[in-house]
Structure 1
């Protein structure tokens, strides 16, 4: 199922497929009814993001009989980008990602993968099951039921058995420490901030690398455990089902381009942190909501620990997971800070909304670092 299949389609320069192209791609894997669909009857919705493009596709319901194949599918198109250069030796290849998604889908936790393809122009992509769901909003996790489902979902993801090779955690931190050192005190970034009308001088002069090293040391000292981490745990990568079946989880995790081994605290703390951000909002990257309360975070960690123990046979407590998450909060912030500084450098980005979001990340890191007493020598 995760074998790469060539398709007789060449995408245009803007990479947006026509309806005929969409039909032909889907028909490569769904061969009973899709090949005979009139492309003009398709309803398609294409969206281009920085790293990828995706297309939602729906065909009309047959006039007679029960459909033998899905009426709706989701197509993901991968773009070639250089913004993650320092992590390229760690992240899965597109085929490995497809295999991971396939295994995740087979587990019943995520969308089924119908096939992995390559177009004649070299674009890689995937045809997935369409999920009847919406992007999670910050307010959703204030609902205890949804919050518990996210916690259990992350625990199942982190403990998942997969064909991917388990790599050590240390190379990730070697890479990100080197990246943060590169941007430390970089004049170009200060100039871009001033051009955008938002000073980021304090952030650029802040030694994230030295402090991140200390955070990792503290996490190791409390016995932080590793698992398969998503890394990109922004709320757009958690879907809330519109009509879940009774007893079924209300959420689904998506977007596994950056899946690799890391401390589970990275995703847990990152989830708490990401409640405050809406990175694809056109008016503000900072969400208009309150932070996760301690009571909510402890509830999340209790639910997580219960699910983790059920899968692994461990006997972790919610308190243990909570302590790990306190350090993971800062791990996730440094990852986002690094990637935003990389984007600024490569793209000369000076969008004031991005700059304000960057400063918000900085403030959160400084506050958390001080709150945990790590500034004390």
Structure 2
């Protein structure tokens, strides 16, 4: 079991740790080699997003002897700043629950090992994880059948995983998201921000997502949609592709479990298909310049997923049934992203034209999918 461990480090106001601090944090958990490491010999690389910071740390290989502890680790820092998605606060896992889930996932051999969960003197929470020799997945990667199959199996394994987290019904999640969408419905501030950013989002803001989301959820429920532990944030940067996987080992690793909740598995599957069109951290365009998932690729993905799901659960789902679920999950994932982006706009006065163009792309995808499945006339 992973426990919260106090560390004798006080981060500066910038929250960027010094090399001494990094050494002391790691040495709290890796107690054989790391305490004697000269901080000046460390190679560190710190990066920050609006919600977290992370640091890759590497120590020199010893001149003599074989190292008994890893030379390279990954530290994740949870920042207190950033947009709080108020309507989801009561549903998302706490940082300690997230750390416990990561620990359990790592012990399964499917993810990075968690060496420790810590709290600094200034109150910052974080984890020291195994460093994985891997890169972020690119949209084009899923055009490779082997990688696509590994992602399908990886999601099925995660969805069916037994964890110590308490299972909650999916309904409160959608009630919360619909409540948030109603808040932003026809909000003049959002329209004004769009105009200031040079991108008209009036049609999106005036679109009643909440009512339509309820219809999608009701339809999925009527189809007997299966539930499991969903990641929710399935953008491709949250899938790592191993640089040198062992024979027979999965080529991918799933990461970032801040939004893990029990939900319809279709959310992650449809969301994976949808996210092939976006790169949310790209500085030139949030919309990728490559082809979308083909029907044949989706069918292959769903067959691989169903095979793995059945193996773990004893169910007899078909790839066709998983595919049908994913068609509705596609819209579940879109509305979640739209909700979160509108929240960010409203709270941070965001008018970045690249974000706004991405938002309109999500809107178009929802409208087209909703019409294609005939939900606009039922």
TM exceeding 0.5:
yes
Alpha-carbon contact 1:167-1:260 (below 8 Å) kept: yes
1:2 Cα offset (Å): 1.3
Deviations 1:34-91 (A, max 9, x none): 0000011101000010110000000000111111000000000001244221111001
Alignment partner, residue 293 of structure 2: 292
Q: Distance in 2 between matches of 1:233 and 1:338?
A: 15
Alignment partner, residue 372 of structure 1: 373
Deviations 1:119-170 (A, max 9, x none): 0000000000000000000000000000000000000000000000011111
Q: Distance in 2 between matches of 1:69 and 1:85?
A: 41
Deviations 1:1-48 (A, max 9, x none): 410000010101110001110000000000001000001110100001
Q: Distance in 1 between matches of 2:25 and 2:233?
A: 28
Alignment partner, residue 153 of structure 2: 152
Alignment partner, residue 4 of structure 2: 4
Q: Distance in 2 between matches of 1:127 and 1:103?
A: 14
Alignment partner, residue 45 of structure 2: 45
The answer for unaligned runs of 5 or more in structure 1 is none
Q: Distance in 2 between matches of 1:295 and 1:34?
A: 50
Structure 1 residues 203-352: aligned runs within 5 Å: 203-352=204-353
Alignment partner, residue 112 of structure 1: 113
Q: SS in structure 2 opposite 1:307? A: helix
Q: SS in structure 1 opposite 2:111? A: coil
Q: Distance in 2 between matches of 1:86 and 1:373?
A: 30
Q: Distance in 1 between matches of 2:289 and 2:2?
A: 40
Q: Distance in 1 between matches of 2:84 and 2:205?
A: 19
Q: Distance in 1 between matches of 2:206 and 2:127?
A: 42
The answer for unaligned runs of 5 or more in structure 2 is none
Alignment partner, residue 22 of structure 1: 22
- Aligned residue pairs: how many? 377
Q: SS in structure 2 opposite 1:70? A: coil
Q: SS in structure 2 opposite 1:232? A: coil
Alpha-carbon contact 1:74-1:130 (below 8 Å) kept: yes
1:240 Cα offset (Å): 0.0
Structure 1 residues 91-102: aligned runs within 5 Å: 91-102=92-103
Deviations 1:182-221 (A, max 9, x none): 0000000000000000000000000000000000011011
Q: Distance in 1 between matches of 2:376 and 2:300?
A: 28
Q: Distance in 2 between matches of 1:50 and 1:230?
A: 19
Alignment partner, residue 35 of structure 2: 35
Q: Distance in 2 between matches of 1:350 and 1:374?
A: 31
Alignment partner, residue 182 of structure 1: 183
Alignment partner, residue 88 of structure 1: 89
Alpha-carbon contact 1:90-1:172 (below 8 Å) kept: yes
Q: Distance in 2 between matches of 1:39 and 1:191?
A: 50
Segments ≥4 residues shifted beyond 4 Å: none
Q: Distance in 1 between matches of 2:7 and 2:340?
A: 33
1:356 Cα offset (Å): 0.2
Q: SS in structure 1 opposite 2:377? A: coil
Q: SS in structure 2 opposite 1:375? A: helix
Alignment partner, residue 357 of structure 2: 356
Q: Distance in 2 between matches of 1:41 and 1:338?
A: 45
Calculate the TM-score normalised by the size of structure 1. 0.99
Alignment partner, residue 144 of structure 2: 143
Alpha-carbon contact 1:83-1:339 (below 8 Å) kept: no
Alignment partner, residue 62 of structure 2: 62
